[in-house]
Chain A
Amino acid sequence: GAGVSQSPSNKVTEKGKDVELRCDPISGHTALYWYRQSLGQGLEFLIYFQGNSAPDKSGLPSDRFSAERTGGSVSTLTIQRTQQEDSAVYLCASSLGGVGNTIYFGEGSWLTVV
């Protein structure tokens, strides 16, 4: 597609439920990133995929968070047993990979846990 596509754009869920957020990167981009942004804050790195390499999961805040990237393209971020502090915008981004390449962001998925 023309840009990074994320779905859903908005999700309200009850505390304790699981949620899945989807990211469809720009075609041909080998690198895919997930970030989280709480209200009025900067971006917090969550996870990074590059080609067939093992993902960098160093930013995942707890074992309730996991992410997959199937076939080197679409990625799903899963949050199990959601908590109110998980409420944030979850931003996906992709790039051609390698150092110094521009990273392009999707519009984000706004998650509200009630």
Chain B
Amino acid sequence: SQQGEEDPQALSIQEGENATMNCSYKTSINNLQWYRQNSGRGLVHLILIRSNEREKHSGRLRVTLDTSKKSSSLLITASRAADTASYFCATGASGSARQLTFGSGTQLTVLP
């Protein structure tokens, strides 16, 4: 079953604008990870945020986590055409290293 659900399913913006994607989940987590996927191929790990963290930055990426609302957001600032991809959140369950549970992703299109 899907744990993380991304919102929106699709997002189209102009180059230079910021893109915000949201992820909601249902059960307690140990960590939440964001991945990027180009053209249905391998996933590239972007950032991991642990349940005791509220915000994390990496370059143009900013991730927030609100465990009380069971939600996370990924912000990409000053977007570029090369950011066009699908973005997935994945949750790691508390007390389990067995697997990440992925949402169905947000398709981001950055128009030049």
Contacts and interface: CB of A to CB of B under 8 A. Distances in A.
A51 B78 CA distance: 42
B95 A99 contact: yes
Nearest to B45: A102
A76 interface: no
Contact of A100 (B40, B50, B102): B50
B25 interface: no
Interface string A63-97: 00000000000000000000000000101010001
Nearest to B5: A42
* Chain B interface residue number, banded: 20 to 34
A103 B95 contact: no
Interface in A98-114: 98-108, 110
Interface string B84-112: 00001010101111111111110000000
Contacts of B97: 31, 50, 97-101
B40 A106 contact: no
B75 interface: no
Interface string B19-60: 000000000001101010000111111001010000000000
Contact of B41 (A4, A41, A89, A99): A89
A97 B98 CA distance: 9
Contact of B42 (A97, A98, A101, A106): A106
Contact of A43 (B31, B41, B88): B88
Contact of B40 (A31, A39, A98, A102): A39
Contacts of A41: 104
A56 B98 CA distance: 7
A10 to B, nearest CB: 11
Interface of A: 4, 31, 33, 35, 37, 39, 41-43, 45, 48, 50, 56, 59, 89, 91, 93, 97-108, 110
Top 8 A-B pairs, shortest CB-CB distance = A107-B42, A42-B104, A43-B102, A105-B43, A42-B102, A99-B97, A100-B31, A105-B42
